[in-house]
Amino acid sequence: MPIVYGMNHASAPLAVRERVAFPEHQIVDAVARLRRTTGVEEALILSTCNRTELIVSMPPEEASGTLARFLARERPITEEELERHCYLYADEEAVRHVFRTAASLDSMVVGEAQILGQVKEAYALAGRAGSLGAVLDSLCRRAFVVAKRVRSETGIARNPVSIARAAVGLARDIFGGLEDRTVLIVGAGKMARLAARHLIDQGVRTVVVANRSFQRADELARDLGGRAVPFDRVFEEMERADIVIASTAAPHTVIQRDDAQRLSRARRGRPIFFIDIAVPRDVDPTVNEVDNVYLYDLDDLQGVVRANLDGRRQEVRSAEAIVELETAAFLAWTKSLHVAPTIVELRRRLHDIAGQELARFHGRFGPLTTSQEEVIRQMTESLVNKLLHPPTLALKRAAALNEGGLRVKLIREIFGIDPPAPAPVPETGGQGVVEPVETPEPTHKEHR
CATH number of the domain encompassing residue 188:
3.40.50.720
Band of residue 406 on the pLDDT scale cut at 50, 70, 90: low
The count of structural domains within the chain is 3
The answer to whether position 168 is within a domain reads yes
Does residue 28 sit in the same domain as residue 121? yes
Q: Do 187 and 143 share a domain, yes or no? A: no
- Between 6 and 436, residue with greater pLDDT: 6
Domain boundary among 93, 124, 153: 153
- Flag whether 395 is in a domain: yes
Q: Residue 438 falls within a domain, yes or no?
A: no
The per-residue pLDDT for 30 is 97
Question: In sequence order, what are the beta bridge partners of 42?
Answer: 57
The model's pTM is: 0.73
User: Do 180 and 64 share a domain, yes or no?
Assistant: no
- Please check whether residues 245 and 149 belong to one and the same domain: no
What number is the average pLDDT over the span 50-68?
Answer: 94
Question: Tens digit of pLDDT for each residue in 233-261?
Answer: 999 999 999 999 999 989 899 999 999 99
- The contacts of residue 16 (CB under 8 Å, 6+ apart) are 7, 77, 81, 85
Is residue 423 in a domain? no
* Buried b / exposed e along 174-202 (16+ C-beta atoms within 10 A): beeebeebbbbbbbbeebbbbbbbbbbeb
49 has catalytic annotation: yes
Instruction: Indicate whether 209 pLDDT > 60.
Output: yes
- 134 and 178 together in one domain: no
Residues 115, 189 within the same domain: no
Q: Any idea what the CATH number is for the domain that residue 93 is in?
A: 3.30.460.30
Lowest-confidence pick of 10-24, 98-112, 226-240, 379-393: 379-393
Domain boundary residue among 153, 186, 218? 153
- Exactly one of 49, 156, 192, 220 is catalytic; name it: 49
Residues of the domain holding 359: 337-415
Whether 373 maps to a domain, the answer reads yes
Residue whose C-alpha is closest to residue 28's, from 131, 117, 135, 98: 131
Asked whether the predicted pLDDT for residue 231 surpasses 60, the reply is yes
Residue 121 confidence (pLDDT) above 70: yes
Q: Residue 424 falls within a domain, yes or no? A: no
Same domain for 168 and 287, yes or no, is yes
443 pLDDT band, cuts 50/70/90, is: very low
**Exposed e or buried b per residue across 247-284, where buried means at least 16 C-beta atoms within 10 angstroms of its C-beta:** bbbeeebbbebebbeebbeebeeeebbbbbbbbbbbbb
Residues 392, 372 share a domain: yes
Whether the per-residue pLDDT at 434 is higher than 80: the answer is no
Q: Provide the pairing of β-strand 42-47 with 51-57.
A: antiparallel
Tell me: do 136 and 222 sit in the same domain: no
> Is residue 25 one of the residues assigned to a domain?
yes
Instruction: Mark whether 73 and 124 lie in a shared domain.
Output: yes
Side-chain half-sphere CA neighbours of 106 within 13 A: 24
Domain final residue pick, 291, 308, 325: 308
Q: How many CB atoms lie within 10 A of CB 23?
A: 13
Task: Indicate whether 147 and 196 sit together in one domain.
Answer: no
Residues 102 and 71 occupy one common structural domain: yes
Phi and psi, residue 132, nearest 5° = -105, 130
For residue range 153-208, what is the model confidence (pLDDT) as tens digits? Answer: 998 887 666 777 778 878 888 777 888 889 999 998 888 888 888 888 888 888 99
Please indicate, yes or no, if residue 125 is contained in any of the structural domains. yes
pLDDT greater than 80 at residue 279: yes
pLDDT at 313 > cutoff 90: no
